[in-house]
Amino acid sequence: MKSYETLIDKHEGDTAFVLGAGTSLHGLNLSPIYDHVVISVNSSFILMPWQQGDPEKRFWISNDSAVRGWSYWQDVKKSNATKIVRDSWEKYYDEIPDFLIFSPRSTGHGIIMPHEKALAYSSSIPSGIDLAIQMGCKKIFLLGVDHYFSGRRSHFWEYYPKKFQPIPVKTILPPFFMQQHIFDINKKTYDALKRFADYKDAEIYNCNPLSKVRPFKRIKYDDALDIIKHLV
């Protein structure tokens, strides 16, 4: 499998949106972001019309090979996007020969070596943020990066009618305590990514003022849209 390294500096100076899968994504009109780099993570894939926009700016990334057990997996494989997965997926090469591959950073969750050719790996969202920074994006907006539960919901699609929700065909949604454990691990990684972004002169905005992810400036989605309107 080819390395993700072919993407380094590919979008120098561009604006990127990294889509998690938190409940704050529910009800957002995403059409204003289609002209920019979009990195979808795991199930946020189902939010994007993959035939719209420049295919060179469309990315899907995952650490978790369990997504192969979800109903949207076949659509991921067929989508008009660059797909990037962790090297633990190499055993599935026959399914994903055209995917790019990355190795996890060697320094754990709290330290990022700026010149290492690897991605943060505590979960798929940090991988997506790391990718956006390494591609050279200077303004990076996070959507659905909440790290909290809304009632019993943790994903935007849990608001959908049952018939429109993705179905775990061969896997299950991790229980709440496992999701919370990942949230806790991610905290150190986000601190490290903030320092990496500063080093690369990139700005990261979390477009949910209520998000539990604190290192990045938290703004409203409408404020993000106002910022991109004024970009040259």
| pLDDT 10s digits, 192-212 | 999 999 999 999 999 999 999
Q: What is the pTM of this model?
A: 0.94
Q: Over range 160-170, report the average pLDDT.
A: 88
Q: pLDDT of 66-120, one tens digit each?
A: 999 999 999 999 998 999 999 999 999 999 999 999 999 998 788 999 999 999 9
pLDDT of residue 48: 93
> pLDDT higher for 100 or 50?
100
Percent of the chain with pLDDT over 70: 94
pLDDT of 51 above 80: yes
pLDDT higher than 90, residue 232: no
Q: How far apart are CA 22 and CA 18, in angstroms?
A: 12
- Would you say residue 179 has pLDDT above 90? no
Q: Are 138 and 198 in contact (CB under 8 A)?
A: no
Q: Which residue has the higher pLDDT, 215 or 53?
A: 215
2-229 CATH = 3.90.1480.10
Q: What are the backbone dihedrals phi and psi of residue 180, each rounded to the nearest 5 degrees, phi first?
A: -65, -35
CA distances from 212 to 13, 36, 144, 179 (A): 28, 26, 11, 14
Residue 230 banded pLDDT, cuts 50, 70, 90: confident
Nearest to 200 by CA among 188, 192, 212, 208: 192
Q: Where are the alpha helices (DSSP H) in 60-200?
A: 73-78, 124-134, 176-199
- Residue 208 class from Cβ within 10 Å (0-12 exposed, 13-18 middle, 19+ buried)? buried
Alpha carbon distance 40, 44 (integer Å)? 6
- pLDDT over 90 (residue 182): no
Work out the average pLDDT over 130-144.
98
In the chain, where are the structural domains located? Answer: 2-229
Tokens 């809304």 belong to which residue? 150
